[in-house]
Amino acid sequence: MTLALGCIADDYTGASDLANTLTRNGLRTVQTIGVPRGDLALPDVDAVVVSLKSRSIVAADAVAKSRAAERWLRGRGAGHVLFKVCSTFDSTDAGNIGPVMDALQADAGDAIVLVTPAFPGTARTVYKGNLFVGDVPLNESPLKDHPLNPMHDADLVRVLSRQSRSRVGLVDLGTVAQGPAAIQARLAELAGQGIRAAIVDAVFDRDLETIGAVAIAHRVSVGASGLGLGLARALATSPAAAHGTDAEAAPPVGGAAACLAGSCSQATLGQIAEAEARMPVLRLDPEALVAGPDEASRAVGWAVPKLAGGPVLIASSGTPEQVAVVQQRHGREAAGHAIEQAMAGIAERLVAAGVRRLVVAGGETSGAVVDRLAIPGFLVGAEIAPGVPVLRAVAARQGEMLLALKSGNFGGSAFFSDALCLMR
């Protein structure tokens, strides 16, 4: 198997978003958790997204991890590697977008790198090099107050110049609108001036398709899921991608099913209430979960005898008032971490008891569960709700498993049963 596209994502949820976008645009895609072992057995796929947690770490570490991911992807035949960053270009003057871009470009030998975080589907557009979030420039958006990477400048040519050893230029929307040949001519002109990276304007998906058609002929590009869309659509019209059967066409997994909810979002609270009419639901005592292992054991003891009869749901979730009480007593981070770990422990014991179809509500909760189960990667399948696909575990020590991992606010009111309907 030779990969048509390799991707390195600087955080897990961004990686999932990209893997889902690639799948929805015709590429069979696996998302791995971290840089995989050299001998990871992959199904026949077109693209691999390696998920790193490198957005806010020391730049040198981000470079080292990204280069290791690139080596793995090139070793699997990837001709093009997309470095996937946030569509709001989350970074500081120290990095990590610029340093990683510089290192990947040096390894690949490209004269110039195309860079665009545009993702019109989520209202991220780039015009004259300025990034807009919805109706306002980046520096007027909520990102100006981000706790780790406050963004005070919407001009990405300036932002990237401060982080990169390269001089940075612009391919503007007028050039993009003229098509691939005009972009190539502009890139050649910039490269002739010694400019080694170019912010590329994009306002509509069609701009990203044009940019994707140019970028795919390079070895490296930098962008968000929007550029992924452009690259996938460029590959979909070329023979390089296999376009095999979808993950959901694979044989059913069967086995017991369970749902875990650690999200306290309004959407998830509504989904738990709705599930009460459809399956047994256990609401955990968060105080007891933080205090020690007994509450998790109670949950496992409650669930296991019921699994033969159908799916169950276990929820730590509370209302904002209930959450505030727990956080006041234990501190926000300590309470969150303890509950996540308790939920991960419950997941581990349910899987040991035969659960092979697992739905998890909550971004951090999902991360803790996936880390605990040590699943190396996922093949992305059918979409349960926008942005929430069915995931088939790849090379998991537990054998065949299906998972659905959702951020708190995602999904309709019947999310848990919608998910289980698609997880056979």
Interface with ligand ADP by CB under 6 A: which residues?
A: 262-265, 286, 316-318, 322-323, 326-327, 335-336, 339-340, 362-365, 407-408
Cβ atoms of residues 98 and 66 within 8 Å: no
Write the CB contacts of 292 (distance below 8 Å, at least 6 apart in sequence).
none
Give Rg (Cα) of the chain: 22
| Distance in Å, CB of 419 to ligand ADP, minimum | 15
- Round to whole Å and give the CA distance between 53 and 65: 9
CB-wise, 36 or 408, nearer to ligand ADP? 408
| Distance in Å, CB of 268 to ligand ADP, minimum | 6
CB-wise, 50 or 344, nearer to ligand ADP? 344
Write the CB contacts of 246 (distance below 8 Å, at least 6 apart in sequence).
28, 381, 382
| Distance in Å, CB of 321 to ligand ADP, minimum | 10
CB-wise, 29 or 265, nearer to ligand ADP? 265
Q: Which two tokens stand for residue 334?
A: 């300590």
| Distance in Å, CB of 209 to ligand ADP, minimum | 32
- 3-class DSSP state for residue 238? coil
The DSSP 8-state label assigned to residue 203 in this structure reads -
Q: Which two tokens stand for residue 175?
A: 């050039």
| Distance in Å, CB of 12 to ligand ADP, minimum | 11
CB-wise, 6 or 408, nearer to ligand ADP? 408
CA 328 to chain centre: 31
CB-wise, 98 or 408, nearer to ligand ADP? 408
CB-wise, 94 or 324, nearer to ligand ADP? 324
| Distance in Å, CB of 186 to ligand ADP, minimum | 41
| Distance in Å, CB of 89 to ligand ADP, minimum | 22
Q: Which two tokens stand for residue 329?
A: 């007593």
| Distance in Å, CB of 78 to ligand ADP, minimum | 31
- CA distances (Å), origin 172, targets 112, 128, 177, 198, 233: 16, 6, 9, 10, 21
Element (H or E) spanning 284, and its range?
none
CB-wise, 53 or 74, nearer to ligand ADP? 53
Cβ atoms of residues 48 and 7 within 8 Å: yes
Q: Which two tokens stand for residue 346?
A: 């419950």
CB-wise, 166 or 263, nearer to ligand ADP? 263
E-assigned strand segments in 158-247: 168-171, 197-200, 220-223
- Return the ∠ at Cα 45 (arms to 40 and 48), rounded to 5°: 65
Residue keyed to tokens 């234990």: 330
